[in-house]
Structure 1
Amino acid sequence: MTLAYLRSPQAIRDRCNILYELACQDKLQHFRVDLSQLETTADYVLQVIREHYPNLDIPFHSRWQHFEVGGISRIAQLNAQLASLPPIEQAKAKYDLAIISVLLDAGAGAAWKYQEAETGGTYQRSEGLAVASLRMFERGLFSSSPQNHLQADAEGLKSLTESRLAAGFQVSSDNPLVGLSGRLQLLQKLGQSLTHYPDYFGSDHPRPGNLVSYFLSQAENKQISASFIFTTILTGLGEIWPGRLTLEGVNLGDVWQHSALPDAGYIPFHKLSQWLTYSLLEPLQEIGLEITQLNALTGLPEYRNGGLCLDLGLLQPKSNRILEQAHQVDSEVIVEWRSLTVILLDKIAQVIRKKLQLSETELPLVKVLQGGTWTAGRKIAAELRPGGIPPIQIDSDGTVF
């Protein structure tokens, strides 16, 4: 098994499908699949899609949607601040913001909230993290240049401190944020990685946004594939993930092991890297690039999508203990849950397309996620449990979920 293969979307589906086939035969230790609930689950998701997007004009599932929480056009405000810059420089600033914000997007925990001074609104979880990261970005927290707040760069990220990040997130004893130190380490390591890949991030003033120039240089006929963006992200950011498995001396990132799998049991998910890839597509479209191979990427194996499958009975735990105790990210319980979620998201999308009589091109998976499974997972969780907590609890270090 090669490093290049483990960094491909095909490997995610291939390896997850092995566990899915075992689940369908009831040969996994922790979960079984009940496909009799597939249509019911798809109907629930379709109902949510129609509630939020009655014309089926669904945006990509990306970080950009979270910035608009509360019906406030924060991106329009950001665009106004960037208006004096050339379009490519605007895209670079948006890349800086998106990459930072996605890396800060691991689960916040149920107790944390963010009060936005600019609007007076209070937000939690992913949207709260999004708004907080946007406001920190606007204040120049990730920039080393006092003259240019609207950027992130290597020096600004490497010099970031936990106290400044905590203040940006309004963390206190009464407002704890899960995995704060893990988030800081990701950003500091990102700052270091930017200097190691000058072709991607630039040599004179390394910053995440310089990926825009790299992708423009690699595009053919103004087209670039989502898979190429994804593998670039995995290479350029591969060094930032802490304490992971390695192959040929290279940190594998969001790759784990399961005893039922061959070839050392490796199973890749690359959840944050795919979420990041989805979030980097729109700025490229804004400067005239067409994104191809959208459906090569997979659904995101995180607790909203996975929770949807569990809460609607499509996925069933074999023991109540799975729901009663917290699990480490590398446990086979979590690995099974995530792998089955990847395949079931494909199955749900297929049923929805059939019901709507739309093709993969007309309704790509990235729109089904947004429309969609993530929102439906949050909705059913809120209906079933106080605070909308996920059905399975994970011990998070702030770097995976």
Structure 2
Amino acid sequence: MSERPLARTDVSPAVAWLRTPAAIRERCHQLLELGLAGKLTHFRVEPSRLSAVVDTVLAVTREAYPTLDIPLHSRWRHFDAGGVRRVEELEARLKGVSPEERARAKLDLAVVSVLLDAGSGPKWRYREQGGGTWARSEGLAVASFRMFMDGVFSSDPDRPLRADSEALGRLSLDALARGLQVTESNPLDGLEGRLHLMHGLGRVLPRPGTLFDLVVAQGRSVRASELLGHVLEQLGPIWPGRVMVDAVNLGDVWPHSALGPVEGVDALVPFHKLSQWLTYSLVEPLEEAGVRVVELDGLTGLPEYRNGGLFVDLGVLVPRDARLTSEALHPSEEPIVEWRALTVALLDRVAALVRGRLGMSAEELPLGKVLQGGTWAAGRKVAAEARPGGVPPIRVDSDGTVF
């Protein structure tokens, strides 16, 4: 496959590099090496505890997937929460449309749902009509799925199964709150932030599903890192109040003083968590439409509170200050940047150890499947055993646009 740029060619080399998974890995592993040397301010790293993490991940994986036929970690797993075959319901509604239009519709759903997926907070719940009650990521998935099926994101009543700029742009806070069942007694963290992302999405794309056309215009095979590049280029302008480099909003990128002066590019640690979560979630619809997504291990682990909480709860990451486990911190604060960076780097190590124990290769068990098997579920299980309601060991003051 020919080499193609990951993002726009009219951005500076620094911006282009900070948009790559290679940059994420390099900066996160730099911080892990400092942590292993005892040179980080906020966390002590205990590598001897990694075996406990691997044991837990393997136990959870074998319980959920006894044949080790593990799907990719993506939003599509959450749509079928509770064993309800909601995706089949979508497929039935899309019967008769072309494979290309089916892919656009599924990308519309995936993009909108992922952008609504940042942490819900501990109190919010979604009650599905005629069904169960769901919380956190599954609740947000089911809620956004039902809104999509009801045509909330489409401006064309005759074509409800789509999202378009007109409907996204006119979406009101009240309408979003109704769709997500938000009330004073059922509060959702970051509702306004989520609305900001919907409006931003409406400004940058005529419909999210046009990402399909952008990809296939360059061929029927795409590297996962290239796919992330498309996502970051197209959605970059929607992220609020973030670090700017060469007049470009970088999104989920934050400084850490251990890497250099915080005003400089060398100190910046990119994560692109929601963008990578979205990229993982685009793979299946694209492949159903005949587009091969290769080199999945080019993407990194997701630095969110389930994966990160797993390392804290099992003693790999030890906070140096008790404040980290008692106060909610903003994503920009250095302890959170440090925690997330160490999580990304440690997920690479865990994936290698899990593969070694299972005798599987990176091609057989890419990182995205280790996450699904895997680290995310293990983080939730350990948190549920440690604290009421399964709250994470470290709390982040979410604005609905990062976690």
Q: What is the TM-score of this pair, normalised by structure 2?
A: 0.95
Q: Which residue of 1 aligns with 2:115?
A: 103
Partner-residue secondary structure (3-state), 1:218: coil
Q: 1:330 aligns with which of 322, 325, 332?
A: 332
Q: Are positions 1:162 and 2:173 aligned together?
A: yes
Q: 1:192 aligns with which of 203, 218, 228?
A: 203
Q: Which residue of 2 aligns with 1:74?
A: 86
State the alpha-carbon separation in 2 of the partners of residues 181 and 289 from structure 1.
35
Residue 169 of structure 1 aligns with an amino acid whose one-letter code is L
Shift of 1:287: 1.5
Q: For residues 7-156 of structure 1, what are the structure 2 equivalents within 5 Å?
A: 7-117=19-129, 119-156=130-167
Q: Which residue of 1 aligns with 2:342?
A: 340
Q: Which residue of 1 aligns with 2:236?
A: 238
Residue 66 of structure 2 aligns with an amino acid whose one-letter code is P
Residue 30 of structure 2 aligns with an amino acid whose one-letter code is I
Shift of 1:186: 0.4
Q: 2:369 aligns with which of 360, 367, 375?
A: 367
Q: 1:261 aligns with which of 251, 259, 265?
A: 259
Q: Are positions 1:358 and 2:360 aligned together?
A: yes
State the alpha-carbon separation in 1 of the partners of residues 401 and 384 from structure 2.
24
Q: Which residue of 2 aligns with 1:200?
A: none
State the alpha-carbon separation in 1 of the partners of residues 326 and 186 from structure 2.
25
Partner-residue secondary structure (3-state), 2:134: strand
State the alpha-carbon separation in 2 of the partners of residues 98 and 92 from structure 1.
10
Residue 216 of structure 1 aligns with an amino acid whose one-letter code is V
Deviations 1:88-126 (A, max 9, x none): 101100000000000000000110000001x32100000
Deviations 1:348-388 (A, max 9, x none): 00000000111100000000000000000000000000000
What percentage of residue pairs aligned between the two structures are identical? Answer: 57
Q: Are positions 1:180 and 2:182 aligned together?
A: no
State the alpha-carbon separation in 2 of the partners of residues 138 and 189 from structure 1.
22
Indicate the larger mover: 305-314 or 261-270. Answer: 261-270
Shift of 1:210: 1.3
List, as ranges, runs of 4+ consecutive aligned residues in structure 1 with deviation greater than 3 Å: none
Q: Are positions 1:3 and 2:12 aligned together?
A: no
* Gaps in structure 1 of 5+ consecutive residues: 195-205
Deviations 1:166-212 (A, max 9, x none): 00011111111110010001000110011xxxxxxxxxxx2110111
Q: Are positions 1:315 and 2:317 aligned together?
A: yes
State the alpha-carbon separation in 2 of the partners of residues 41 and 121 from structure 1.
32
Residue 391 of structure 2 aligns with an amino acid whose one-letter code is I
Partner-residue secondary structure (3-state), 1:350: helix
State the alpha-carbon separation in 1 of the partners of residues 48 and 200 from structure 2.
45
Q: What is the TM-score of this pair, normalised by structure 1?
A: 0.95
Q: Which residue of 2 aligns with 1:199?
A: none
State the alpha-carbon separation in 2 of the partners of residues 132 and 325 from structure 1.
29
Q: Which residue of 1 aligns with 2:292?
A: 290
Residue 84 of structure 2 aligns with an amino acid whose one-letter code is I
Shift of 1:17: 1.1
Q: Which residue of 2 aligns with 1:393?
A: 395
Shift of 1:293: 1.3
Partner-residue secondary structure (3-state), 2:257: coil
Q: Which residue of 2 aligns with 1:209?
A: 209
Partner-residue secondary structure (3-state), 1:349: helix
Deviations 1:65-93 (A, max 9, x none): 00011110000010000012111101100
Residue 132 of structure 1 aligns with an amino acid whose one-letter code is A
Residue 180 of structure 1 aligns with an amino acid whose one-letter code is L
State the alpha-carbon separation in 2 of the partners of residues 278 and 21 from structure 1.
27
State the alpha-carbon separation in 1 of the partners of residues 357 and 127 from structure 2.
41
State the alpha-carbon separation in 1 of the partners of residues 179 and 254 from structure 2.
32
Indicate the larger mover: 31-40 or 45-54. Answer: 31-40
Residue 44 of structure 2 aligns with an amino acid whose one-letter code is R
* Gaps in structure 2 of 5+ consecutive residues: 1-12
Partner-residue secondary structure (3-state), 2:259: coil
Cα RMSD after superposing both structures: 0.8
